[in-house]
């Protein structure tokens, strides 16, 4: 693929998971747009101070942007999420899609990749998705979409998201050819992701352990679990988000903003998932994740990773886009 001459702008950038996926294919980032200052701090720790942050994309004049080839955006998911209030297109955050379309049209943009939560598929009886697809079609784009699970594309994390691939209609030579989505690959070994040596283990000397024991002995879990038996299962993952304890082997549940209840067993000890490990589970390379360890608070990294795009999934989707347009 000849992608090293292609450029992109990273919208709703978060901490740059989408950017990394594109850079792995040789594309060059010209700028980004992010309103969360904490996320921007992490982003700049990863990528430096050079690129301009255009801030709120709803206030961007497309003419002020440099010319670029591809838009990457994980547009706000709160309004479409099954765990949110599901206000959808009636919530002003749901209107961000119109801000993105304004930029697409203003720059006569060739390509885009967008990501959102799986809940968008059925929101408002499917009407929200129908409106988004209609608006993108009216803007001049052929759009393909599918729900993919990060578990199938290079990380041991259960993360279902809907992905949109858009190509300006005049650039499509063979209009009968369908877009081919990436084929699932073998899930990697979780041992390569749960590697943090920080002081995150807990036992009967720590208050967090007492909290965990109380959770195991609540009315939903009492009598179901033996802590000694759990501790014999290396790399067993425990999810304490729900009232009932959920166990996973070889994979972790979906990382989410505000979700800090993931525990796992290593070497006979319970350990809390760290910020570094959450970045690895989103496909961020270890050397990059280590750059922010100790610089960004762990609770911030856990939230930011939960709001990020999975690097390896974006890379897989983008590769298929460039195969489709024969770059």
- Catalytic residue positions? 77
Number of residues written out for the chain: 327
Residue 30: helix, strand or coil by DSSP?
strand
- Pairing relation of β-strands 262-266 and 246-249? unpaired
E strand spans, the chain: 7-11, 28-33, 52-53, 70-73, 111-117, 141-149, 160-168, 201-202, 236-239, 246-249, 262-266, 269-272
> Distance (Å, rounded) from C-alpha 151 to C-alpha 241?
20
**Which residues have a Cβ under 8 Å from the Cβ of 310 and sit 6 or more positions away?**
17, 21, 150, 153, 154, 155, 157, 159, 161, 282, 283
Phi, psi of 139 (to 5 degrees): -75, -10
Going across the sheet that includes 269-272, the strands are: 201-202, 269-272, 262-266, 236-239, 246-249
Using the structure block, give the residue that is written with the tokens 């379309």: 101
> Distance (Å, rounded) from C-alpha 22 to C-alpha 213?
43
231, two tokens: 């501790």
Residue 102: helix, strand or coil by DSSP?
helix
R_g (Cα) of the chain, nearest Å: 21
Report CA torsion sign: 164, 239, 84, 57.
negative
End-to-end CA distance of the chain: 5
């Amino acid at each position: 693929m000849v992608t090293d001459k292609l450029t992109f702008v990273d919208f709703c950038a978060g901490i740059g998971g989408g950017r990394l996926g594109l850079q792995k294919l040789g594309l060059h980032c010209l700028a980004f747009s992010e309103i969360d200052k904490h996320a921007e701090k992490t982003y700049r720790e990863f990528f430096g101070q050079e690129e301009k942050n255009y801030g709120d994309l709803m206030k961007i004049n497309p003419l002020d942007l440099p010319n670029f080839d591809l838009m990457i955006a994980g547009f706000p998911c709160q309004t479409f999420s099954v765990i949110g209030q599901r206000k959808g297109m009636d919530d002003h955050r749901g209107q961000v899609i119109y801000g993105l379309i304004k930029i697409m049209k203003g720059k006569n943009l060739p390509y885009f990749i967008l990501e959102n939560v799986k809940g968008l598929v059925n929101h408002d009886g499917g009407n929200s998705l129908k409106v988004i697809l209609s608006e993108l079609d009216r803007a001049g784009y052929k759009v393909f979409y599918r729900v993919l699970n990060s578990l199938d594309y290079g990380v041991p994390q259960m993360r279902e998201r809907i992905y949109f691939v858009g190509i300006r209609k005049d650039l499509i030579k063979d209009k009968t050819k369908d877009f081919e989505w990436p084929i699932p690959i073998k899930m990697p070994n979780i041992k390569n992701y749960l590697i943090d040596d920080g002081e995150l283990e807990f036992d009967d000397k720590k208050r967090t352990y007492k909290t965990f024991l109380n959770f195991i002995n609540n009315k939903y879990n009492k009598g179901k679990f033996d802590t000694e038996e759990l501790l014999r299962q290396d790399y067993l993952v425990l999810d304490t988000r729900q009232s009932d304890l959920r166990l996973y082997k070889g994979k972790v549940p979906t990382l989410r903003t505000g979700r800090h209840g993931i525990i796992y067993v290593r070497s006979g000890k319970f350990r809390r998932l760290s910020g570094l490990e959450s970045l690895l589970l989103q496909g961020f390379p270890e050397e990059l994740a280590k750059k922010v360890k100790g610089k960004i608070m762990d609770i911030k990294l856990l939230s930011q990773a939960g709001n990020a795009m999975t690097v390896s999934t974006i890379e897989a989707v983008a590769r298929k886009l460039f195969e489709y347009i024969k770059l």
